[in-house]
Amino acid sequence: MLFEPRWFRWVRWVGLAFFTTIVLLPLYVMATSAAKPLRDVQGEFHWWPTELTLRPFADIWRTIPLGRYFLNSVLVSTAAALCSVLVAVFAAYAISRFRFPGRALFSVTVLSTQMFPGILFLLPLFLIYVNIDQLTGITLYGSRLGLVITYLTFSLPFSIWMLVGYFNSIPRELDEAALVDGAGPVGALLRVVVPVATPGIVAVAIYAFVTAWSEVLFASIMTSEQSRTLPVGLQLYSTQAGVYWNQVMAASLVVSVPVAAGFLMLQRFLVQGLTAGAVK
């Protein structure tokens, strides 16, 4: 066992306390601001509310249609996560297990898309959606389906790349044993590889969900009033009369609780998935 000097222990605890304070302090200010009347939030700052109230938590549902925006975010993020997992599993398995012409080029192309900023895809996607609507009558611009497809353009490449590394860490002998028992390539994938790769698949799903949940740029351009998501909807608390800061804080807390709870429950899968393939 390595000896840990006492000074190092003190430095470690002081560092942990410092960074924990940095992380928790904004959350504390958010929570206390949500429990203040608007005049207190706009006035002189106090670390503790001079008047506690839960009215902002009731007003957030009346000031804007927060329930609709919350539902849109849940549907779009869940659909984007499921589609990313479904496509990435088959694509990553093909790259990991099979040798075919263009395999290396395809892998590099998938990964290289992450080098480009998302705003470069905004205008091409907008033009594609508008032309599809004119030619086929299928409305993608301003719809939840169009937003799901948009999110796949930048969540899917990373999902494929991460699952390739995870599948590479799974012994090929498992696939071969399943093939000997009569299972085809798809059967070997679904019955043998997928159960073993559950942590990596969950990590991909969490990444795709969180990416879609917190995205603002595309959601602000590619949505309508009916398909608007939470990151864009929260901006509507800013009106010509002023900004309802206490409601902004209250709404941010309310919509963050389900995501934070789900993240904590699946955290162990995320850690296992991200570290898979690091050591062979």
Please tell me whether residue 243 adopts helix, strand or coil conformation. Answer: strand
Please name the residue that has the structure tokens 């109230």. Answer: 53
- What are 185-225's pLDDT values in tens digits? 888 888 888 888 888 888 888 888 988 888 888 888 888 88
Q: Which two tokens stand for residue 153?
A: 């353009």
pTM: 0.81
Yes or no: say if 234 and 248 are a contact pair by the CB < 8 Å rule: yes
Strand runs (DSSP E) across the chain, as ranges? Answer: 238-239, 242-243
Q: What average pLDDT does this structure show over 104-132?
A: 82
Residue 199 half-sphere exposure, CB side, CA atoms within 13 Å? 17
Reply yes or no on whether the pLDDT at 34 is more than 50.
yes
Fold exhibited by the domain 54-276: MetI-like fold (1.10.3720)
How does residue 43 score in pLDDT terms, banded at 50, 70 and 90?
confident
- What are 216-274's pLDDT values in tens digits? 888 888 888 888 898 888 888 887 777 888 888 898 888 888 778 777 776 666 665 55
Please tell me whether residue 133 adopts helix, strand or coil conformation. Answer: helix
Q: What's the angle, vertex CA 156, arms to CA 188 and CA 67, rounded to 5?
A: 110
Q: How far apart are the first and last CA of the chain?
A: 25
Residue type, 106: F
Give the domain ranges of the chain: 54-276
